[in-house]
A and B are shown apart, each in its own frame.
Chain A
């Protein structure tokens, strides 16, 4: 297993956080606020609890098979053909989110920053970088993402610090205006994002201190919870729930609203925010793409995943180009269809596998 290398549980945590963060901070405020209005911050808490549940499921499944990934042991649990089908669902899920991210990224770049550049350019640049990182292997991805993540979190903290003076508490009132149902509805989509941390199913065999995984997975959820909460409360407190819901990317508008009389050059920093976000998006794409290619190689029983990188990259770009007609469609999709599909994979299928494995009492390691 030279090419995949070994990582520590903390590096796996970085992987788990990176796989969620970039799109979550961008989309969660608008999507959640649309349903939950000023109570969106409550939705995030519920989503976090749901996320914990999902990560619990994933980790307990992973611990049953410490030396294999879910694609490899699904046939053990369900039998050959159904197992392969489930394995395919997992690997398709990774590519599916991958090209969703690509399209999301290109849509944002085209709509906000570089209006006249064709979106394929952004997809191509980002996916080539992701392919380069994937060639490097798991260790390289983890090292890159730990640096990028530090920068992203620092930027978020800085942004929050710069807007905190403009946050108005009355924008969060009244609490639970329309009862609890909108809050639950708003929790679905961030809950789905939290569930992406189930990627631990693919990483588990490469972790060298497996006993810490439970702890670090929950730590990952916690970090994500805090960042999402910062973004959601920041957006609502600064822009108000109606405005937040009407923007496509409220987080960017938040960065745009930074206003300092004394330091005028710190205003309109959203282009720098974009740079940081590009980095975050890259690691998000890379983590999904790597998990996908790795799953594909395991599904096909290929020894090395590297020859699969460029072909699957090409397919991913093609899918990304044709899948959504425009940004509104994409946005509607990401709010309504997307969370359910990823919850289906990360929670329902994973839980299903866990239950079957439990009933049939299959495991290859000491749980």
Chain B
């Protein structure tokens, strides 16, 4: 009896919820109808002065056969924008009227005049009457342009013009042609400043999406490199490309990325961090959940592991998903030098990670709570150095760390010309003078400097940021509870990390659960011929990376095919 009651009650709750959802849907639809029903008169474009022009408004305005009417509407929409150009001309010396529409600065001008205007205006010969419209004929015979798209309504026209195409409208034709002639100024690929390498490619992504795609294509020459285009941002109309290698990236992962991207409905996307913050599994966590990089080789390497990359227009920073913790400790350069160096650098990097998180707090804890740990002679010099310092160690550490952060932030924003002066003053004032004045102890300066330098060893700037912030929490914990506080803080971070996932992959994948193959690429970097498998959590179905037994050997020691 009680069970049925419960069931009915549950049913009731569900139906109420359903009704509310229905009501909401109804309201939304009504709202859409209202905006759609606004008085759009295509011939009198005054309405565009009062309201924003939406996609669905434009889609309802078809291209008319009358060229003048089309031009009037377009002029109405663009108003007096100086870069919006409509060039009217006559095809073949008076056969018919036509116009090209483009944005100045977005198109290659030479291409426009040589491949479009010249054939139509000067070299045009009347065509034999064959089937198909006039537009199709000139497309087939006259225009030497490679990529051409059809436009049927004003939205198509404007969309293509905005992308840098030239739209050709011909009088008497209720359609237009969008001819691709994009040619805006872009930066050439150069070495990324934040990810410089000693050995390895010196190319980095630029702000232009098509260049970035090319950089990627050149590294993975396979039809299985799938690039899916999306346009996000209501106003910015930013192109976003999702890239992955078919057969390596798990289909569920790709579907999840696609779905989360499609959910994004925002006015503008100016940098890939807009996407990252919208895509995260744990939006409030300090820790980065996607790898950001400017290096195409890093993207290619990660695609080969079965990850998904997101390239965003107008930023050189690509996102790589999922970005679990271990991936942030790997640098592409680990693989470009001898593996022994790779091993060494990896170990160094992990220790630097620990130092940059823990050194100030351990210093505070040891000097405040656990003096017995310090060897006597060192203790004596610490005591001597701290003699005149008026603050407890934790305040001293916090002061110095904050001073360091100020210097660091100033260093980023400073104009180059005064940079040197400020850094000298900063270093002298913070280091030398503060010690001389007895505000801080010299040992503290060493600790802070070492911590600061260590934090630059992290190949991921995002991870370094989270460590920078957590360092202060750890110092306060150390000041309160000594090494116990430090241990508690580390454990809290560990539990937090263990509870996180990045696109279905546990954030600590690679560390735990234990897979011996994965460990070849965590604390060490095994020789390339040993890395036979892809990360276990990423590529579940296709894990084999290379043929077995690739370890190179001189010919007389090879087990088979030896000459002896």
Contacts and interface: CB of A to CB of B under 8 A. Distances in A.
Interface of A: 8, 10-11, 109, 113-114, 117, 121-122, 125-126, 129, 132-133, 135-137, 139-140, 142-144, 146-148, 264-265, 267-269, 271-272, 274-276, 278-279, 282
A148 B492 CA distance: 12
B21 interface: no
B69 to A, nearest CB: 60
A269 B369 CA distance: 14
Contacts of A269: 373
Given A117-B481, A125-B488, A140 B498 contact: yes
Q: Which of B366, B373, B491, B514 gathers most chain A CB within 10 Å?
A: B491
A279 B506 contact: no
Contacts of B486: 275
B35 interface: no
Given A129-B488, A143-B508, A278-B487, A136 B495 contact: yes
Contacts of A11: 513
Contacts of B491: 129, 144, 148, 278-279, 282
A279 B512 contact: no
Nearest to B488: A125
Contacts of B275: none
B484 interface: yes
Dominant SS among interface residues on chain B: helix
Nearest to A264: B375
A267 B378 CA distance: 13
B484 A122 contact: yes
Contacts, number: 92
A11 B512 CA distance: 10
B481 A148 contact: no
B513 A274 contact: no
B164 interface: no
Interface in B22-70: none
A109 B487 CA distance: 13
23 contacts: A11-B513, A114-B482, A121-B481, A125-B488, A132-B495, A133-B495, A136-B498, A139-B498, A143-B513, A144-B491, A144-B498, A146-B512, A147-B494, A147-B508, A147-B511, A148-B494, A268-B373, A271-B366, A271-B372, A271-B373, A275-B483, A279-B487, A279-B491
B426 to A, nearest CB: 32
Contacts of A148: 491, 494
B494 A136 contact: no
B99 to A, nearest CB: 61
B499 interface: yes
B514 A113 contact: no
Contact of A109 (B484, B490, B499): B484
Interface in B479-525: 481-488, 490-492, 494-496, 498-499, 506, 508, 511-514
B540 interface: no
B545 interface: no
Interface string B203-239: 0000000000000000000000000000000000000
A274 B483 contact: yes
A197 to B, nearest CB: 20
B370 interface: yes
Interface string B425-463: 000000000000000000000000000000000000000
A272 B483 contact: yes
Interface of B: 366, 369-370, 372-373, 375, 378, 481-488, 490-492, 494-496, 498-499, 506, 508, 511-514
A147 B484 contact: no
B291 to A, nearest CB: 21
A271 B486 CA distance: 11
B203 to A, nearest CB: 38
A14 B373 CA distance: 32
What 3 A-B pairs have minimum CB-CB distances, sorted nearest first?
A136-B499, A143-B498, A275-B487
Contacts of A139: 498, 506
B375 A267 contact: yes
Tell me which of A126, A137, A267, A275 has the highest count of chain B C-beta atoms within 10 A of its own C-beta.
A275
Contacts of B488: 125-126, 129, 278
A121 B482 CA distance: 13
A279 B488 CA distance: 8
A184 B370 CA distance: 40
Contacts of A143: 498, 506, 508, 512-513
A282 B495 CA distance: 11
Contacts of B499: 135-137, 140
Nearest to B375: A264
Nearest to A132: B495
B450 to A, nearest CB: 16
* Of B369, B378, B488, B494, most A-chain CB atoms within 10 Å: B494
Contact of B513 (A10, A114, A267): A10
Contacts of A144: 491, 494-495, 498
Contact of B492 (A10, A132, A140, A275): A132
A113 B484 contact: yes
Given A11-B513, A135-B499, A140-B499, 7 more contacts: A10-B513, A121-B481, A122-B484, A147-B511, A147-B512, A274-B487, A279-B491
Contacts of B494: 144, 147-148
A315 B55 CA distance: 61
Contacts of B508: 143, 147
Contacts of B373: 268-269, 271-272
Nearest to B506: A143
A10 B496 CA distance: 22
Nearest to B370: A271
Contacts of A114: 369, 481-482, 484
Contacts of B513: 8, 10-11, 142-143, 146
B498 A271 contact: no
B512 A129 contact: no
A271 B375 contact: no
A117 B488 CA distance: 16
Contacts of A276: 487
A33 to B, nearest CB: 26
A61 B487 CA distance: 38
A139 B372 CA distance: 39
A268 B375 CA distance: 9
A117 B369 CA distance: 12
A189 to B, nearest CB: 27
B501 to A, nearest CB: 10
Nearest to A283: B491
A299 B506 CA distance: 31
A108 to B, nearest CB: 11
Max chain B CB contacts within 10 Å: which of A11, A122, A125, A268?
A: A125
Contacts of A267: 375
A266 B467 CA distance: 27
Contacts of A133: 495, 498
A132 B496 CA distance: 8
Contacts of A122: 484
Nearest to A125: B488
Contacts of B375: 264-265, 267
Contacts of A135: 499
A13 to B, nearest CB: 11
By CB atoms of chain A within 10 A, which of B484, B492, B495, B514 has the most? Answer: B495
A137 B369 CA distance: 34
Nearest to A265: B375
Contacts of B495: 129, 132-133, 136, 140, 144
Contacts of A279: 487, 490-491
A171 to B, nearest CB: 27
A173 B474 CA distance: 48
Nearest to A135: B499
